[in-house]
Amino acid sequence: MKAEHKTYEINEYVYLCESKIHNKGVFALRPISKGTKIIEYKGELISKEEGTKREEESIKLSKKDPSKGATYIMEVDEEHDIDGDIEENYSKYINHSCEPNCEFEVKGKQIWVYALKSIKPDEELSCDYGFDFDPENPFQHPCLCGSKKCVGYIVQKEQRGKLIEHLTKIKLLKK
C-alpha cells in the first residue's frame, strides 16, 4: 500500500485513497482475478418513481452549481433503483473509465462490482457508468481516465459513436 496518501481499507480486496482521475478512488489491495465479486454498491432500495424524482432534483441542483448534485442512483430492475448516496457505500468512489477494469452487475435486489479483467495491487478500479450522450449538453462530464481509448467525456460505450460524430461536426464547423 502507498504510504504517502491516507488510505482506508474497505474489505479484503480494496482500499480507498486519493485518485489521479477524480477526488477519491478505490484501489486493489492485492491481485484480483477476473470475475471476482469485489464490493457491493450499497444503498437505499427505492421505487423507480422515487429514483426518477431524486435524479431530477439532483440535475436541477447541478445546473445551479456544477460541483453539487452528483447522482448515485442506479437501476436494479424495472421497478427498483438503488440510491448509493450513503456513507457506507464506498463503491460510489469508483471512477468512470473509457477502458474499465470492473463492471456493475445486478444480483437479485443488490448491485455488485465485478472484475472484468485481472487487476494488479494498487491499480485503481474503474467502471463504465453508462451515462447517455446528451446532445443538448454534450460536455457536461469531462473524463480524466487517461486511458488510450479515452473519448474525453463520460459517455457509455454504446453511445460513444454519437459523441465522436458530434465532436467531428464541431471540428468541421470551426475550419
Judged by the rule CB under 5 A, the positions of this chain that interact with Zn ion are: 98, 143, 145, 150
The smaller minimum CB distance to Zn ion, of residues 42 and 141, is found at 141
The smaller minimum CB distance to Zn ion, of residues 114 and 129, is found at 129
Question: What 3-state DSSP class applies to 32?
Answer: strand
Using alpha carbons, list the distances in angstroms from residue 122 to 37, 88, 128: 18, 21, 20
- At residue 9, what are phi and psi to the nearest 5 degrees? -75, 120
- Which residues, at least 6 apart from 34, have a Cβ–Cβ distance to it below 8 Å? 115, 116, 117, 118
Compute the least distance from the CB of residue 51 to Zn ion, in Å: 26
Compute the least distance from the CB of residue 52 to Zn ion, in Å: 27
The smaller minimum CB distance to Zn ion, of residues 58 and 95, is found at 95
Compute the least distance from the CB of residue 54 to Zn ion, in Å: 26
